[in-house]
Amino acid sequence: MKYYSTALFLVFSIFCELYAQNNKMVLVEGGVYLPLYGAEGKTVKVAPFLMDALPVTNADYLKFVQENPKWKKSNVKSLFADKSYLAKWTDDTTFTGLKDAPVNNVSWFAAKNYCECQGKRLPTIDEWEYAAMADENVPDARKIKTYNQYILNWYETPKTFNKPVGSTFKNYWGIYDLHGLVWEWTQDFNAVLISGESRKDVDKDANLFCGSAAIGASDLMNYAAFMRFAFRGSMKARYSSQNLGFRCAKDIEN
């Protein structure tokens, strides 16, 4: 019995280590914030949730496709991923770049399924934006000039997806790399109602979108966030991009 429990302990410790390494989740306390888009001038309440401290890495994703062969590059259905899915992988089980660099070129369907297989889910736009307002010291740094400048500088820096996860700052909640390596999928990315077509429709897409009058940028000064929303609005669920990775989130169990 004693041996058994020791063995069990060892097995668990190994798993624990594996999981602790890449799947550490941190608590983001809830609160209210004023999002860039949405109901006019209305704050949104974000309930407390757990979020991965790090983005999903190449190594994590390799493990996932090995356990779930339908998501291998050669097996994936084109309904769920376009041709650029895992574009830089040389075959089904060989990625290029660092093993602890964030995985990129994954579709929304793939990211969503990855999280579900871990008993998690993708964060919502509101959760992601809420967590990403924080700098090292405060939960909402959006009014701090240097913070916005940092994000915009990153947007201008090429190929940051090659850097290892955890190489940017640890924010107020204990989360790394929300700004600095890759942009990230969110569960409801398709709740963004701006599109490429909006340029050709003079009347603000009134024809394409019901209730579009209620939509407008509530904080245009936050140009960095505007870029993220515009990017989300331009994506489709089967698209993938080398600047786009993901991490998972989870409800808090009572």
Partner 1 sequence: MKLKYLFIAAALVAISCNNSAKDSEVNSDSTTEQTTDNAISDMSIYNLPSHWTTQDGNEIELKDLKGKVLAMVMIYTSCQAACPRLVADMRNIEKQIPEDKKDDVQYVFVSIDPKTDTPERLTAFAKENQMEKDKWLFLRGTEADTREFAAVLAVNYKKISPMDFSHSNIISVFNQGGELAHQQEGLGVDNKETVQAIIDLAK
Q: Which of 92, 217, 237, 242 binds partner 1 (CB under 8 A)?
A: 237
Q: Which of 188, 204, 217, 230 binds partner 1 (CB under 8 A)?
A: 188
Judged by CB, which is closer to partner 1: 87, or 237? 237
Please state the φ and ψ torsions of residue 250, each to the nearest 5 degrees: -160, 145
* Contact window for partner 1 (CB under 8 A) among 83-91, 96-104, 110-118, 158-166: 110-118
Binding of residue 77 to partner 1 (CB under 8 A): yes
Contacts 24+ apart (CB under 8 A), 168-174: 169/135, 169/136, 170/136, 171/131, 171/132, 171/134, 171/135, 171/136, 172/134, 172/135, 172/136, 172/137, 172/138, 172/139, 173/26, 173/27, 173/28, 173/29, 173/51, 173/131, 173/134, 173/139, 174/26, 174/53
Which token pair is 14? 């190994």
Q: Which of 190, 198, 218, 242 binds partner 1 (CB under 8 A)?
A: 190
C-alpha span between 236 and 108 (Å, rounded): 8
End-to-end CA distance of the chain: 33
Binding of residue 7 to partner 1 (CB under 8 A): no
Smallest separation (angstroms) from partner 1 to the CB of 185: 11
Binding of residue 136 to partner 1 (CB under 8 A): no
Judged by CB, which is closer to partner 1: 147, or 185? 185
Binders of partner 1 among residues 41 to 70 (CB under 8 A) are 67-70
Which token pair is 125? 């736009």
Smallest separation (angstroms) from partner 1 to the CB of 230: 13
Binding of residue 195 to partner 1 (CB under 8 A): yes
Binding of residue 143 to partner 1 (CB under 8 A): no
